[in-house]
Amino acid sequence: MANRWRRYSYVAQKNYLRRVRVILVWVLIFFVIHTVIAGLFFSNRTLESDAMRPGLLEGDRFVFLSFTLHHIIRDRFEGNLPFRRGQVVLVDRSAGSRRNPLHILLDAGVRFFTLQRISFFPREDTVFVKRVIGLPGDTLSVNNYVVRIKPAGETYEYVEFELTEKDYTPELPQVSPLWDRTIPFSGSMDSVTLKENECFVLSDDRGNTNDSRTWGPIPADSITGRALARYWPLTRLGPF
């Protein structure tokens, strides 16, 4: 009798529909909050290569501070960049490409309900974790995989490590001295001066040339976040 009442009773069905609506509303609220936080403030990312070794290894997981809001209202910041030399950042080489806002919203929903496993956009092919080496106005060159920098308005050159607040140790490969210096793997690059809004980013594993040595200088707007903390593995847990 009780089961029949739950099945056919108008009151029971009304209560059931009300509970369903409440659940759907809370799911929608959580989705909106997650999308806003992930899009404007924070995101997480798993390092999927050893391009940043020896300090960062494949499988390490990080929380990144997003620069989306900064790029949207950048005029309020009077041109100040939200990152500094030596910081580990996210580089989105697709940044600035035009996308349908509806597709972006649908993509956010698909990624939310599939736990970030499915996306409409090939983000894995365009987003990279790199280290900021050169800022707008810098003149820099590379010799034996180490960068020498003359900051804008300065008279003298500095080795890259002299200009950063955070210590890091790149992995420098050994190559034949007979290799032509025009080959990226030779570890050398002629002097270049960065234009306004241009930055230079490198892999910590200097044998990996999937960075500004092959891309050239990148727009500052394509740097979409910086690492705040590593939360996995627990043995390397800590701020960045």
Report helix angle 10-36 to 101-113, nearest 10.
110
CA atoms of 205 and 214, how far apart (whole Å): 14
- Cis omega (within 30 of 0) for bond into 239: no
Q: For every residue of 80-135, which 3-state class applies, written as one string?
A: CCCCCCCCEEEEECCCCCCCCHHHHHHHHHHHHHCCCCCCCCCHHHCEEEEEEEEC
CA atoms of 229 and 42, how far apart (whole Å): 11
**Domains with residue ranges and CATH for the chain:** 43-96+126-239 (2.10.109.10)
* Per-residue pLDDT of the chain in tens (240 residues, 90 and over written 9): 445 545 556 677 778 788 888 888 888 887 777 666 666 778 888 898 899 999 999 999 999 998 876 665 665 555 688 999 999 999 988 765 545 555 655 666 666 666 566 666 655 567 899 999 999 999 999 988 999 999 998 999 999 999 998 889 999 887 666 666 666 556 888 899 999 889 999 999 998 878 998 899 999 988 989 999 999 899 999 988
